[in-house]
Amino acid sequence: MAIQPIRLFGDPVLRTPAEPVVDFDKELRKLVKDLTDTMMDAPGAGLAAPQIGVGLRVFTYYVDEQLGHLINPDLDLGGEVDEEGEEGCLSFPGLTFPTPRAISTVAKGFTMHGEPVTIEGTDLMARCFQHETDHLDGVLFIDRLDAKQRKLAMKAIREAEWSGLSSPVVKISPHSTQGRAL
């Protein structure tokens, strides 16, 4: 297990477009494992490499009990849009907003072994693929909200306990010092 800290909104890495993967090597396989372990631990339905501070076009997903990953994704969106689906992001802990997304996607990319793959997704899978591919372009789900929801989101972000923390939140057990203050 190699669980990595998840970067929070405000960390510039989340706004930096990621680079395509060129070398399908041992390092890449380690990155996929770290992403998978971190996503499953969170737990989350998807995690993109920039969310653990790595600027490469890689994401993992766990939707409808299907665990997978995609390298250098290229997405085609279906025409129909779900305007109301609630969406959240591990980089915005505790917040969800209705986020418009295409209901179906066809994702082309590669496995960590460099084999080409095509994955067709609908509903939550399609939503996840759009969300994660956006991460690789430095785009966040709050960018996809309508004006009213975005205003609500910005307010909720300002009020969130993690707001302004670009480093990971360290959770300290209240019993770790037998109640004594440090």
Q: For binding to Zn ion (CB under 5 A), which residues are involved?
A: 89
HEC readout, 66-109: EEEEEEEEEEEECCCEECCCEEECCCCCCCEEECCEECEEEEEE
| Residue 143 per-residue DSSP state | G
Q: How far is the CB of 181 from Zn ion (least distance, A)?
A: 36
Residue 38 burial by Cβ neighbours in a 10 Å radius (0-12, 13-18, 19+): buried
Instruction: Quote the least distance from Cβ 39 to Zn ion, whole Å.
Output: 10
C-alpha–C-alpha distance, residues 175 and 162, integer Å:
22
> In the structure encoding, which two tokens stand for residue 61, read together?
């997903």
* Alpha carbons 124 and 64: distance in angstroms, whole number: 8
**Residue 120 a catalytic site member:** no
Catalytic residue from among 83, 132, 159, 161: 132
Q: Whose Cβ is closer to Zn ion: residue 50's or residue 109's?
A: 50
Residue with the CB atom nearest Zn ion in the bound state:
89
CA atoms within 13 Å, Cβ hemisphere of 145: 17
The residue among 28 and 89 lying less far from Zn ion, judged by its C-beta, is 89
Closest approach, Cβ 65 to Zn ion, in A, equals 20
Of the two residues 24 and 68, which places its CB atom closer to Zn ion in the complex?
68
Q: Which is nearer to Zn ion, 12 or 114 (CB)?
A: 12
Q: Which residues are catalytic, by number?
A: 132
